[in-house]
Structure 1
Amino acid sequence: MRISVELVPRSEAALLADAATVRDALPQASALNIPDLLRFPLRSWEACALTHGVMPASIPHIRAIDIPPGEDLPMAEAILAAGLTEILVIKGDPPHDMSRRTWPNSSEDIIRRCKRRHPGLRVYAAFDPYRQGFRDELDAVARKRDAGADGFFTQPLFDLRLLEICAEMLRGQCVFWGIAPVLGERSRAYWETTNRVIFPADFAATLEWNRDFARRALATIDELGGNAYLMPVRVNLDAYLRGLLPG
């Protein structure tokens, strides 16, 4: 089982400090995945070029709607020059600043373009069981596989029963299963409203519940032969990660 940790690229100094915390607090982690957040000046592939020397692997997120027409990806040269071998392609949300140019690409469009130009690059796509019905999401999985996707990163899950159902749906695929701590009722309301998450009846928005769930989820994912990524947003990294796994 590979374990990745998602980090927010607020600044170079903060990112390197967070990467060092992950390495020290969770030695079982072997990768970082970094989103491309328009509110920060550091792009995901630039951030991964920095962290590539801290962890064995760094995986930048690429927003499909930010890619202009053309054969190649604008950031491909920088990705390859940094020695990065994996990327995650998502469609991307429209920017709040409407003066920022976007294009009507689907994630499949960019996956297909990337695999055509850079077949040695491992490309992951997104899977979200909350976004739409299972049948529609499975159809999206098929389209992304046909475009050349090598595997999937899921939206964070909070229920082991749903994880096992989704594992049946994605049987035979390389999957990084998402786990995210949700602390406080305001954070819970955000996940329910924005991401359409349904929490289990025993959920508690506490550090203790979330650490216990992460342990149980990681054990289940390991048994399923999958990979995992932890998304510790707005939580103390050391408090959440340290001692999460034995050894």
Structure 2
Amino acid sequence: MSLNRLCVELIPRSAESLAQDVATVKSVFPAADTLNVPDLMRFPLRSWEAAAQLHPTFPRVIPHIRAIDIAPNAPLPGAEQPGLEEILVIHGDPPADLSMRTYPNSTESIIRRYRKEAPHLKIYAAFDPYRRAPWKELEDVARKKEAGASGFFTQPVFDYKLFDLCREWLRDEDVFWGLSPVIGPRSRSYWETTNHIVFPKDFSTTLESNITFAQTVLRELAADQGCAYLMPVRIKLEHYLPALLEAVS
């Protein structure tokens, strides 16, 4: 058995750095068949622009779309973009620059707009088991599906027991399960502070432990022909990705 799909998340710092990163992925991690690109307001390159740049060399790219950035009568980002087939709609955090305007959209309202105005696009939404009580998050899953989402990207998981429980909750859903290395105390503090992650008591922030955990999860997903995405934050791609090849082959 093998994974149905395997995705790597790349940060669009600039057109040049993005081109270098995709070349690295193709070189050291040929098992990846998909890229996903977050929409980060501190960088000028928007996610759908990055997807357009990547498409000639990597056809399957999933840009993140921030719901709160879309004006009521503005065109939907990527709706008519050649070659684009999938998007991930997230709510979006308020920008640090208060001069940047946002709008009181819900994730569901933007999903409905895409479903109506760009029915050719497959829409993913977010699932975060750390954000709130599980029943509330699963109610959100139901609302997003009703609005038109047909799959989900999870917050990266760091606990095998929680991963196994979430797989039960999302059984029969089309899910990209997230994995991200947490290397050192500063990285752990970031995840705890920003994303409210509760790590297992025996969690280790060494590279070796993070690779071992990712290998375990990827093997489980491969046995079920599931999907995963890898988010190598604050670590060089070539230091993390090659060690996972055996688990996905």
Tell me which interval the TM-score lies in, with the shorter structure as reference length.
over 0.9
**Paired residue type of 1:73:** L
Q: In the TM superposition, what whole-angstrom CA distance separates every residue of 1:45-70 from its partner, at most 9, and x where no partner exists?
A: 11111111222411100000000002
Q: In the TM superposition, what whole-angstrom CA distance separates every residue of 1:50-100 from its partner, at most 9, and x where no partner exists?
A: 1112224111000000000027414423xx22x110000000000111111
Aligned partners of 1:54, 1:75: CA distance in 2, in Å? Answer: 18
Deviating 4+ runs (over 4 angstroms): none
Contact kept in structure 1, 2:39 and 2:46, CA below 8 Å: yes
Shift of 1:153: 0.1
Aligned partners of 1:200, 1:175: CA distance in 2, in Å? Answer: 23
Aligned partners of 2:58, 2:243: CA distance in 1, in Å? Answer: 19
Aligned partners of 1:197, 1:74: CA distance in 2, in Å? Answer: 31
Contact kept in structure 2, 1:25 and 1:243, CA below 8 Å: no
1:40 to 43, 62, 68: 43
**Paired residue type of 1:27:** P
Q: Does the C-alpha gap of structure 1 residues 98 and 71 become closer, same or farther in structure 2, counting only changes over 3 Å? A: closer
Aligned partners of 1:196, 1:243: CA distance in 2, in Å? Answer: 28
Aligned partners of 2:69, 2:176: CA distance in 1, in Å? Answer: 24
| Match runs of 1:1-247 below 5 Å | 1-70=4-73, 72-77=75-80, 80-81=81-82, 83-246=83-246
Shift of 1:35: 0.4
**Paired residue type of 2:239:** A
**Paired residue type of 1:111:** I
Contact kept in structure 2, 1:151 and 1:173, CA below 8 Å: yes
Q: Does the C-alpha gap of structure 1 residues 222 and 68 become closer, same or farther in structure 2, counting only changes over 3 Å? A: same
Q: Does the C-alpha gap of structure 1 residues 75 and 86 become closer, same or farther in structure 2, counting only changes over 3 Å? A: closer
Aligned partners of 1:209, 1:236: CA distance in 2, in Å? Answer: 16
**Paired residue type of 1:221:** L
**Paired residue type of 1:10:** R
Shift of 1:30: 0.3
Cα RMSD (Å): 1.2
Contact kept in structure 1, 2:65 and 2:77, CA below 8 Å: no
Contact kept in structure 1, 2:79 and 2:117, CA below 8 Å: no
Q: TM (normalized to structure 1)?
A: 0.95
Aligned partners of 2:193, 2:116: CA distance in 1, in Å? Answer: 38
Q: In the TM superposition, what whole-angstrom CA distance separates every residue of 1:122-180 from its partner, at most 9, and x where no partner exists?
A: 00000000000010000000000000001000000011111111111111110000000
Q: Helix, strand or coil: the match of 1:76? A: coil
Aligned partners of 1:29, 1:36: CA distance in 2, in Å? Answer: 21
Shift of 1:224: 3.3
Unaligned 5+ runs, structure 1: none
Q: TM (normalized to structure 2)?
A: 0.95
**Paired residue type of 1:21:** T
